[in-house]
Structures are given as structure tokens and as C-alpha cells.
Amino acid sequence: MNPVETVRAFWEHMQRRDWHGVRATLAEDVVVEWPVTNEIFVGVDHVVAVNAEYPEGWEIRVVRLVGSGSLVVAEVEVPQADVGVFRTAAFMEVVDGRITRSVEYWVHLGGEEPPAWRRSLAERFSTGSAGSGDPAIDA
């Protein structure tokens, strides 16, 4: 598999809660960083466990995947019942068909109000309106 296919397979396995399949897309010594919460998960066991133990009610929607060499940027939306919609921009390195590193910026859509100084400059959109509308860009 090329790097984009590997990352797509990772998210598809996540959606199915196929933890064996998730494990197969990850390097044994994978490192996943979540800078927003200052967390780092080292090793396939920890990465699989943090995802498997996450409270249920969520689904995975891949918005877009963009690859360049071994780097794949994934924009993924994760609606969760009774919680809202989360979105990540994940920068994923793939070596020999396995994800070796991922830096993931998770945000809760609509979770923060914009500062007053810029409210007159921007329009608001509803959460869950993912994608650019360009099928050549969107996954």
C-alpha cells in the first residue's frame, strides 16, 4: 500500500472498531502526539488502547487525505452522540506501509467562541459542514 492507502485503511479500521486491523497499520514503535492536551502515546499497544477505550457513540468521517512522499495529512471529522463534533488535522508519517508517527490536532467544533474583536469580520458556519465541496480535494 502507498502511504495514503495506509492512512485510509487506518481510519476505516478505526470506524469498524477493528483493533487488529488498526494495529496492522501501525509500526510497533509508533508515536502519536496530541499537542492540544500535551499527550504523547508511545508504542502500538498504547495507541490502540487509547482508541479502543474511548467512550462509544462516535463515528469516523474522512474529509480529505493529502499525501506527499511518506507524509499524509488527514482531516477527519468525528461526530459523537450527546457530545458534538470533533475534528482533527493529523500529520502522519508512513514508512514501509506502517504509520510511524502522527501529530494530531483535535478540536471540538464550535467549542470556542471567537473573540469579540473579529466577530464583525467573519461569518459563522454550522458544525459538521465538512469538506471543501471539491471532490478532487475531499476524500
Q: Which pLDDT tens digit goes with each residue over 77-124? A: 999 988 899 999 999 999 999 999 999 999 998 888 888 998 889 887
E strand or H helix that includes residue 117: none
Per-residue pLDDT band for 32 (boundaries 50, 70, 90) equals very high
Per-residue pLDDT band for 127 (boundaries 50, 70, 90) equals low
CA atoms within 13 A of residue 44's CA, in its CB half-sphere:
15
What's the gap between Cα 38 and its chain centre? 16
Pick the CATH number of 3-109 from 2.60.40.10, 3.20.170.30, 3.30.70.270, 3.10.450.50: 3.10.450.50
Rounded-to-integer distance, Cα 135 and Cα 138, Å: 5
Grid cell, residue 25, equals: 497499520
| CB atoms inside a 10 Å sphere around CB 40 | 12
